Amino acid sequence: MTERTFSIIKPDATRRNLTGKVNAVIEDAGLRIVAQKRIRMSRAQAEKFYEVHKERPFFGELVDFMTSAPVVVQVLEGDNAVARYREVMGATNPAQAAEGTIRKLYAESVGENSVHGSDSLENAKIEIAQFFTDDEIVG
């Protein structure tokens, strides 16, 4: 089934000028970038986005990191896009990520792990709506 998922190229990756390299992995995996913009996330946006993790010990560090430099927010489209992008990203901790995945190739640590991808179709819809209007997505 054709789906849309939400992706973020995180500050550790934009800082190292890896936007194009990450996008190449995404496109080579058959996912289509149907919306994309570079933004500086506000604290309020980052806190809302990662609200599910607000009780976790790393929450403050995560919000600091996500607001520390520009990010690239994206909508990806393709067959089974949600699960497919999770495969392409690799495990949260790059030490456990499979060969060829974005996190294996580029992530620096479990916190500074280069990309975000939605974990369900339901969350993908919520996350896309947080950063994009319908007319910004051109499929």
Q: Are 97 and 91 in contact (CB under 8 A)?
A: yes
User: Is 53 one of the annotated active-site residues of the chain?
Assistant: no
Q: How far apart are CA 57 and CA 47, in angstroms?
A: 14
Residues numbered 95 to 134 that lie near Mg ion (CB under 5 A) are: 119
Q: Which span (17-25, 29-37, 107-115, 129-137) binds ligand ATP, by CB under 6 A?
A: 107-115
Binding residue for ligand ATP (CB under 6 A) from 110, 121, 125, 137?
110
Residues numbered 83 to 102 that lie near ligand ATP (CB under 6 A) are: 92
Identity of the residue, 35 or 97, whose beta carbon is nearer to ligand ATP in the bound complex: 97
Q: What are phi and psi of 122, to 5 degrees?
A: -60, -50
In the chain, the amino acid numbered 121 is L
Residue 135, Cβ density class (10 Å: 0-12 exposed, 13-18 middle, ≥19 buried): exposed
| Interface residues toward ligand ATP, by CB under 6 A | 53, 58, 62, 92, 110-111, 113, 116-117, 119
| Interface residues toward Mg ion, by CB under 5 A | 119
